[in-house]
Chain A
């Protein structure tokens, strides 16, 4: 893919080694920054960065196009890493070099510093998101009606994507799948623990509203949210819970570190491949939403996204 976009081999090499030094158009550089931030530290996204995109001629609908692609890419990346997927025979050669630079990734991940659980923004009624919204669109109306029926309100995440409604079916299905374990291999408690841990690791105020409410519904009176916000390994868990949490923690920000030993450990505590698939998908789907919410400045909802009949 890269040689098609950037015919000069030197530019390709620069991009792979240090894209900030690469001689590419300014909007392209901003796109690289957007993707990098989405993958590594979305919680550090700012409204000024989004305005910088507009100043470079990227309108809000285009920013949403970037966000929707990054959402889907997050699922692809985590599904591939979590399952140890081999390259396809038809994978373009550029796909073979994406894994370079893992040491740099690790260093930059560590550099981000902030403790897990820090919430960059509080729920707010004052704004929906940094991007513009148009709530008169037909597609938005359909998605809003679905959300009203299911949750009793329309999530700000839906409103934020009103200028780019193509992914509404995806977002709706994502929220449905996140509500409860799908296969029955992962218990509701294990599922809620994973969701809460992911929100904490992603430092997501948006996701925390729902994942915390779900955890407190599943385990009322237990201070599990607080335990997951710090070093969860210091607290007692069942063997299965600890294995699930360790796998989810690795998946959340460092899915490239997953090895065949991780699914094997889940099997050792009595969980099957379906449970592993559940964890991979909960982490990847929820992360895609939480990271997009960060990048677009989506204000947290005032109520959790839990189906009224759940």
Chain B
């Protein structure tokens, strides 16, 4: 259970609902049919930040699925290391 309240996408209206929809559309465009990942949901109180999360994910050329030639090391290795050494469970 999150530390902050969450308004599930199914219950969201107005600006928040639109922000959720943009997030789902971003993942769908990237080839992933999923609901809004939990990491975005706690930003419900300030949809501008939820949109920022969506925007930055959309800017990553190889996220959620790879679209460009891989480099010498898959870029997700660095991401995984950032998460591990932040001791982040998510």
Contact = CB atoms under 8 A, between A and B. Distances in A.
A31 B78 contact: yes
Contacts of B89: 80, 87, 95-96, 98-99, 256
A78 B89 CA distance: 11
B3 A263 contact: yes
B49 A169 contact: no
Nearest to A58: B72
Contacts of A35: 77-82, 84-85
B26 to A, nearest CB: 13
B88 to A, nearest CB: 4
Say whether chain A's binding surface is mostly helix, strand, loop, or mixed. Answer: helix
B60 A273 contact: no
A50 B3 CA distance: 38
Interface string A24-36: 0101101111111
A5 B45 CA distance: 37
A277 B49 contact: yes
The interface size bin for chain A is 35 or more
Given A31-B81, A277-B49, A99 B73 contact: no
A256 B87 CA distance: 6
Interface in B28-74: 34, 37-43, 45-46, 48-49, 52-53, 55-57, 59-61, 63, 71-74
Contacts of B55: 169-170, 173
Q: Which 9 A-B pairs have the closest CB atoms?
A: A35-B81, A83-B42, A84-B3, A80-B90, A99-B89, A274-B45, A170-B56, A39-B85, A256-B87
Interface of A: 1-2, 5, 16, 19, 25, 27-28, 30-36, 38-40, 56-58, 62, 65-66, 68-88, 90-91, 94-96, 98-102, 105, 166-170, 173-174, 177, 182-183, 185, 255-256, 258-260, 262-264, 272-274, 276-278, 280-281, 285
